[in-house]
Structure 1
Amino acid sequence: MTEAPESAGPDGGAPARYTPGTPCWVSLMVHQMAATEAFYGELFGWEFRPGPQQLGPYVRALLDGREVAGMGQLPPDRHLPVAWTPYLASDDVDLTAETVRLCGGTVGVGPLDAAEAGRLAIGSDPSGAVFGVWQAGAHQGTGVTGVPGTPVWNELVTYEAATVAKFYETLFGYEERRSAAPGLDRVTLCLDGRPVAGVHGLGPSLPRDRGPHWTTYFEVADTDAALTRVAGLGGQVLDPAHDTALGREATVADPEGARFCLVQRQR
């Protein structure tokens, strides 16, 4: 995580409309829905509401009545990696999906309607990292930000940052801000001068068992206390808490193995 996104308002309100290219939602497909709801409910204080029905068994996580994230049930015969997937806002998901294909990516799901909520597609960039695209209808995306229990950042870990960043720049017109640190292959994707996501190239150090992937960061009030809760709820601590320029971070996995980061931001 390199830079903090623009802060939310004092009530944690999200923007009325997400600028195209902004991460606007995160979703997780799991095998054991009830157990996963229990884990995240205890960790972040989420409650859950069913729907949209067009997405199959699916729930929306709520924090103080406002939507934060989504979770869906994987079919029993689908042995897919369990991972958080960020969705990038689009004014025209069909056009974005076609651009993904033209730029060397793939589209595996959609575009398809999610009832009146909106229209979506799920694809992967040329390196293989999976991401979603969301065209808002009644559902704009995450309805609360900047408070504990909400997504605060998304970062792509890949082999080489510049080439993949160019792919996303073509899709959404990002401005690229390259790290000046020697030997650090990192690009921050910006919209209107505001950082919205990161790309981090690890070269041959990228774990082969994972490959390129997006990671979602969730805000917490106390990283160390959150790690204790993760372990007590059956999750794993993969990278212990450590201090960074932005706050105290750690990497964890839920009981099904979905990885995500926790960050206690500096105020």
Structure 2
Amino acid sequence: MPAVQLRLAQGTPCWVSLMTDDLAGARAFYAELLGWTYTPGPAQLGDYVRAELDGAPVAGLGVLAATGFPVQWTTYFAVDDADRTAQLVRECGGTVAVGPLQAERAGRLAIAADVSGAVFGLWQGEEHPGREAGPEPGGPAWAELLTPDESGAAGFYGAVLGRPVAADGGASALLVDGRPVAGIRPGAELRGHPPRWRVHFAVRDADLTARRTVELGGRVLVGPHDAGRGRQARLADPQGGHFSVLEAA
């Protein structure tokens, strides 16, 4: 009998997915940079693969469905009921762009935007519960929203996900069972870019990863520096997808 997969607690960032215009190029880049291997994803998601570390899924990569949209990473939050939570998104002033829809037996998903336009996902895990952020190099380490309206975002995510949001060192943090699982802070760094969730991946050495990113055709947006959660850098892959790396504790 297969092992029972336990769904992550509601509000927990549980998955990250990249939509890109060059899937082959993205696969090669992240395989070299973060050590990923790949397996096919649900057929309903089109040309989509799951990235794995030591046989365990850590992220998804897919092809943009239409031209003119930016290459970007999306953070998904675990929910107990994707349909109900999608309705809450609408009631709280956000929008639902995709779904909710069934991804074979893996789970049920929706893609939405908050009141300021930042895109995020909802994931009702079934056979695939997702992956919680952690310190393992190559996997997701932290999720952080950059927004021009920190208090509005805090109220929105608190209401939609049914979790408290508390002050956290000059910013805010979404709490699950009393611990911070995602950050919300003013978007002074947006500089004309729309609000967005920033994905952080754990690495052993942020400086080395930044140099390797350039060697593989990517860019360094903000060089390695020490911040509240440790040494980190903001980078872009060769297709333009922005992401951050954070040294594993």
Aligned match of 1:207: 191
Does 2:212 align with 1:223?
no
Q: 1:189 aligns with which of 174, 186, 209?
A: 174
- TM-superposed CA distance for 1:143, in Å, is 7.2
Structure 1 residues 265 and 244, CA gap change in structure 2 (3 angstroms): farther
Q: Which has the higher strand share?
A: 2
Q: Note if contact 2:136-2:248 (Cα within 8 Å) is conserved in structure 1.
A: no
Does 2:30 align with 1:40?
yes
For residues 92-145 of structure 1, the C-alpha deviation after alignment (integer angstroms, 9 at most, x for no partner) is 000000000011000000010000111100000010000000001111112784
Letter in 1 for 2:186: G
Structure 1 residues 202 and 32, CA gap change in structure 2 (3 angstroms): closer
| Worse overlay, 135-144 or 39-48 | 135-144
Q: 1:89 aligns with which of 39, 59, 78?
A: 78
C-alpha separation in 1, matches of 2:71 and 2:28: 16
Q: Note if contact 1:85-1:214 (Cα within 8 Å) is conserved in structure 2.
A: yes
Aligned match of 1:243: 226
TM-score, normalization: structure 2? 0.94
For residues 146-202 of structure 1, the C-alpha deviation after alignment (integer angstroms, 9 at most, x for no partner) is 21000010000000211111000001122222145xxx4x11111111101010113
Does 2:183 align with 1:198?
yes
Q: How does 1:27-106 map to 2 (within 5 A)?
A: 27-75=17-65, 77-106=66-95
Q: Note if contact 1:187-1:200 (Cα within 8 Å) is conserved in structure 2.
A: yes
| Worse overlay, 241-250 or 29-38 | 241-250
Q: 2:115 aligns with which of 111, 118, 126?
A: 126
Structure 1 residues 154 and 162, CA gap change in structure 2 (3 angstroms): same
Calculate percent identity across the aligned residue pairs: 48
C-alpha separation in 2, matches of 1:44 and 1:159: 31
For residues 11-61 of structure 1, the C-alpha deviation after alignment (integer angstroms, 9 at most, x for no partner) is xxxx94310110000001111111100000000000000121111000000
Q: 2:235 aligns with which of 252, 255, 262?
A: 252
TM-score, normalization: structure 1? 0.88
Structure 1 residues 81 and 125, CA gap change in structure 2 (3 angstroms): same
Letter in 1 for 2:183: G
Aligned match of 1:110: 99
Q: Note if contact 1:234-1:254 (Cα within 8 Å) is conserved in structure 2.
A: yes
C-alpha separation in 2, matches of 1:198 and 1:246: 11
Give the count of matched residue pairs.
245
Give the root-mean-square deviation of aligned CA atoms: 1.6
- Runs (5+) with no aligned partner, structure 2: none
| Worse overlay, 77-86 or 46-55 | 77-86
- TM-superposed CA distance for 1:241, in Å, is 0.4
Letter in 2 for 1:171: V
- TM-superposed CA distance for 1:244, in Å, is 2.2
Aligned match of 1:7: none
Q: Note if contact 1:67-1:143 (Cα within 8 Å) is conserved in structure 2.
A: no
Question: What secondary structure does 1:116 align onto?
Answer: coil
Letter in 2 for 1:117: A
Letter in 1 for 2:245: L
C-alpha separation in 2, matches of 1:36 and 1:51: 16
Q: 2:164 aligns with which of 175, 182, 199?
A: 175
